Structure 1
Amino acid sequence: MKIFLYYISQTLAALLLIHLRFIYRFRLDVALLVFQVDNLNFVFSKIRKVPMSERVPITIIGAGAVGCAIAYQLSKSYQEIFVIEKNSKVTAENQSSRNSGVVHAGIYYPKDLGKLKAELCVRGNPELYDFCREFEVAHAQTGKLVLAASEAELEYLQDSMRIARENQVPGAQLISEQQAKKLEPNIHCIKAGYFPTSGIVEATQLVHKLYSLASQAGVFFINGTEVVDAKPERGAFKITTRSGERKEIFESEIVINSAGLYSDMVARWVNPDSPFDILPIRGESAKFYKNRRTELYHAGLNIYPTPHAIYTDGTKAEVSFSEFQKLFKQKKVVKTVGVHLTPTFDLIDNEYQIGDIVTIGPAAQRVENREDYSENLLPPVNYLKAVKNIFPALETEDISLHQTGVQAKLLQQYDWVIQPDEKFPRFIQLIGIDSPGLTACLAIARYVEELIRSVA
């Protein structure tokens, strides 16, 4: 008999909630007992014996921000949802936390090339803020400045303004240098876009809250377990998992592929003709302390350059806007929002507040290993070169390295893939969920629920 102990402890104001889950796992069946203490009252919330030879209704592969959001959303209408996560804990270990934590407004995603990104980002932005307020997840609606530092960058900025209008981003404004400097006095630009609905969120706390709510609603998270194969069989899907040296096989009527960097591989297990490939792009970041010198003061906005293109090897494409459009449509370059400055949270007196650290990133590099977080990292001087034209007081000695992450960029297209598989419609694909996936996670979850209703 193999015993799994899940222990979650949280303190929220005057509420003590301890959620203990014991999973007794046998060769052919799993007995699931959830013993919950809620408001200090003992409640048996779930007693269920599930034979592993029997089909389960819904399996989600991956417990990042999107996977946990889907689990939380589906738990409102469905029972017996299983989430398989290869990491030992649900702690936003991969894409979900290895990023800037920016809440995007929706200004980068043209509808003709990125309909899902455009619609789900703009829809997900207020949903995320509402969720964070309701469940006390650290966040701040800081606003964003996108800075054109030269005449050549004005066309790129104008395109961002056009996309903002097309996507109906609230409050988007084109402002002068003087107006921009009233918001952030130490920047340099000739014009700027101001987008008040942008902000930041504490991603690890967000994912944990989604996980906690889904668990309390009866979703079963099987952590420390990797899905190693998935095949269509008898009108369902045979899922093979591995935990340590032990393998388990079970069937699921519906499978949701939210496997992040490995979503293309999972897709091909089920359908070898799946046409999608992940291009792993490592985003590296650095940091500086805004209180180090007066001229490094940062008022707390997200500060961005104008968007530009990078080649598939990660180098910047120094081209005119018209040439960028041509290369972009030919899939010869990838669009990036650029290396930017982002405020961060500090835990001060048991409360999350915007602190002294400002991150610089992400600086993009193509990597072969999808979990290469440490080889050949860029030096601080690279970050200085990237932002010196918009934040001129920064010097190399102010900068130290911060963190790295690898984004799952789709090679074949700009937009996300969120759809039933063409051959097996009960296999829901989420492939290439890069930025703004964190912002849109709740909207993506609702969209996936609609897809499930259409195929169930």
Structure 2
Amino acid sequence: MLRVAFQSLKNHLRTILRYGKSENFSTQFTEIPKETADCVVIGAGVVGIAIARELAFKGRDVLVIEAASTFGTGTSSRNSEVIHAGIYYPPKSLKAILCVRGRELLYKYCADRGVPHKQIGKLIVATSCTEISKLEHLLKRGTENGVEGLRMMDDFEAMQMEPELQCIKALLSPCSGIVDSHSLMLSLIGEAEQYRATFSYNTTVIGGHVEEKRIYLHISESKELEKCIPNSPLRPQLLLIPKLVVNSTGLSAISLAKRLHGLHNGVIPPSYYARGCYFTLSKTKIPPFRHLIYPIPEDGGLGVHVTLDMDGHVKYGPDVEWITDIDEISSFLHKYDYTVNADRVKGFYPEIRRYYPNLKDGSLEPGYAGIRSKISGPGQPPMDFVIQGEDIHGVPGLVNLFGIESPGLTSSMAIAEYIASKFSR
């Protein structure tokens, strides 16, 4: 549908034009083609894909719009690939509820479909006496959240389990694990397409407006958007009118919401970005750990932790680097700086040696970087997932997902279940 509309536009649209701040969109866009749709999911990350699959399974006609040339190019492919248990999050919060439910759904899905994953368990470690109370708090919180099998361990027992580990106490989470996120997304897409969902890549939603209680999405080909000047107003090539639209664009979700004319800015949370670098362990034939090793959480993240991939390779990260000055067009097109600054490794060695004292100089090599979409900034307490429907913002047919960072991967199938049950009627 979109491809046909774009092809017809190429004959008479020479470029993307600017439009002013007037909200009289009916007169501005009279010559722009219009299409209707049932459900539109914006963003083909793991959460958007899971939502599309669930909605399609429920019988909805689903179109997924993705600005990149393929799926999962943002946060979904630049994370630790950890299946979280549900320990860290306040009881009854969306993060707690959806993480625990999502973990159950994810393990079953991976086992049934042959998606590579391992339930290897995790140790959260205290390396000083002042951290013991924080570890006890995590045990209490995880238990309240319904996480099974949590157990506090003395230093001797933990270090017997992991001989390279140094700690004074540890919290064992046996139901934590790892998953091949790319294989997971491939499987979810395959099933979504079996249920007749359609994926339109290289297609960007640049904004929208509300007219007669219907959402009009402003659509552009991504290659046309790349020609535009940052922070400039944009003119769409197509107006898409869905019955239900889910804004699951991750890093650009808030930028997009601000460009939905008719959505009150008061319901849109502030936006923050945190870049995290990962470094891989080299010059070591045998991995030093068999479990995930996590320190006590820090401001902006869960600390520089040990993660194993499906092949047993060890990576450390992420650290936290708050970043600013990301313009809207770069945000829509996923044009972020993912460069791993090799100098940041200097901060990794002392952090890691708190629990792994035998880490040798020169054994860490630059891996990759990811960027987290956050709705709380430096020094602020972590915020819960924000899932907004008409009851919050007053716009019929619109669902906004904000702050879907960790444990977004673990929670993805539960988020999809939640949205399909609450907003798809």
TM-score, normalising length: structure 1? 0.78
Paired residue secondary structure (1:448): helix
Report whether the alignment pairs 1:360 with 2:331. no
Match of 1:420 among 367, 370, 389: 389
Structure 1 residues 107, 61: CA separation in 2 closer, same or farther (over 3 Å shift)? same
Aligned residue identity for 1:101: E
User: Does the 8 A contact of 2:164 with 2:289 survive in 1?
Assistant: no
Whole-angstrom CA distance in 2 between matches of 1:207 and 1:442: 11
**Partner residue of 2:357?**
392
Whole-angstrom CA distance in 1 between matches of 2:153 and 2:291: 15
Report whether the alignment pairs 1:228 with 2:206. yes
Structure 1 residues 237, 206: CA separation in 2 closer, same or farther (over 3 Å shift)? same
- The superposition leaves residues 55-81 of structure 1 with CA deviations (integer Å, 9 ceiling, x where unpaired) of 211111101000000001111113321
**Partner residue of 1:89?**
70
User: Does the 8 A contact of 1:102 with 1:201 survive in 2?
Assistant: yes
Percent identity, please. Answer: 32
User: Does the 8 A contact of 2:97 with 2:145 survive in 1?
Assistant: yes
Aligned residue identity for 1:147: V
- Aligned-pair distance for 1:298? 2.5
Q: Unpaired segments of 5 or more residues in structure 1?
A: 5-22, 29-51, 311-333, 346-353
Q: How does 1:334-373 map to 2 (within 5 A)?
A: 334=300, 336-345=301-310, 354-355=311-312, 357-368=313-324, 369=326, 371-373=336-338
Report whether the alignment pairs 1:99 with 2:79. yes
Whole-angstrom CA distance in 1 between matches of 2:339 and 2:84: 27
User: Does the 8 A contact of 1:235 with 1:253 survive in 2?
Assistant: no
Paired residue secondary structure (1:435): coil
Paired residue secondary structure (1:276): coil
Name the count of aligned residue pairs: 373
User: Does the 8 A contact of 2:246 with 2:401 survive in 1?
Assistant: yes
- Aligned-pair distance for 1:419? 2.2
- Aligned-pair distance for 1:375? 7.0
- The superposition leaves residues 183-210 of structure 1 with CA deviations (integer Å, 9 ceiling, x where unpaired) of 2110000110000010001111111211
Paired residue secondary structure (2:69): coil
Whole-angstrom CA distance in 2 between matches of 1:276 and 1:146: 31
Match of 2:44 among 33, 43, 63: 63
- The superposition leaves residues 232-262 of structure 1 with CA deviations (integer Å, 9 ceiling, x where unpaired) of 1222211111112382222111110101011
- Aligned-pair distance for 1:381? 2.0
**Partner residue of 1:48?**
none
- Aligned-pair distance for 1:137? 1.0
Whole-angstrom CA distance in 2 between matches of 1:229 and 1:386: 42
User: Does the 8 A contact of 2:95 with 2:385 survive in 1?
Assistant: yes
User: Does the 8 A contact of 2:84 with 2:410 survive in 1?
Assistant: yes
Structure 1 residues 397, 255: CA separation in 2 closer, same or farther (over 3 Å shift)? same
**Partner residue of 1:199?**
177
**Partner residue of 1:374?**
339
**Partner residue of 1:286?**
279
Whole-angstrom CA distance in 2 between matches of 1:190 and 1:411: 31
Root-mean-square deviation (Å): 2.2
Match of 2:241 among 244, 251, 257: 251
**Partner residue of 1:74?**
55
Structure 1 residues 228, 452: CA separation in 2 closer, same or farther (over 3 Å shift)? same
- Aligned-pair distance for 1:359? 0.5
Match of 2:103 among 122, 125, 129: 125
Higher normalized helix content (fraction of residues): 2
User: Does the 8 A contact of 1:236 with 1:254 survive in 2?
Assistant: no
Structure 1 residues 220, 54: CA separation in 2 closer, same or farther (over 3 Å shift)? same
Structure 1 residues 376, 287: CA separation in 2 closer, same or farther (over 3 Å shift)? closer
TM-score, normalising length: structure 2? 0.83
Q: How does 1:208-219 map to 2 (within 5 A)?
A: 208-219=186-197
User: Does the 8 A contact of 1:380 with 1:396 survive in 2?
Assistant: no
Report whether the alignment pairs 1:444 with 2:400. no
Q: How does 1:163-182 map to 2 (within 5 A)?
A: 163-182=141-160
User: Does the 8 A contact of 1:157 with 1:307 survive in 2?
Assistant: no
Moved more, 193-202 or 425-434: 425-434
Higher normalized strand content (fraction of residues): 1
- The superposition leaves residues 357-392 of structure 1 with CA deviations (integer Å, 9 ceiling, x where unpaired) of 200000110112362212755432211111111011
Q: Unpaired segments of 5 or more residues in structure 2?
A: 10-32, 225-235
- The superposition leaves residues 170-225 of structure 1 with CA deviations (integer Å, 9 ceiling, x where unpaired) of 00000111211232110000110000010001111111211111112100110011
Aligned residue identity for 2:140: R
Whole-angstrom CA distance in 2 between matches of 1:250 and 1:263: 18
Structure 1 residues 249, 27: CA separation in 2 closer, same or farther (over 3 Å shift)? farther
**Partner residue of 2:162?**
184
Whole-angstrom CA distance in 2 between matches of 1:63 and 1:133: 23
Higher relative contact order (CA 8 A, sep 6+): 2
Whole-angstrom CA distance in 2 between matches of 1:179 and 1:436: 28
**Partner residue of 1:411?**
376
Q: How does 1:141-156 map to 2 (within 5 A)?
A: 141-156=119-134
Paired residue secondary structure (2:405): coil
Aligned residue identity for 1:440: S
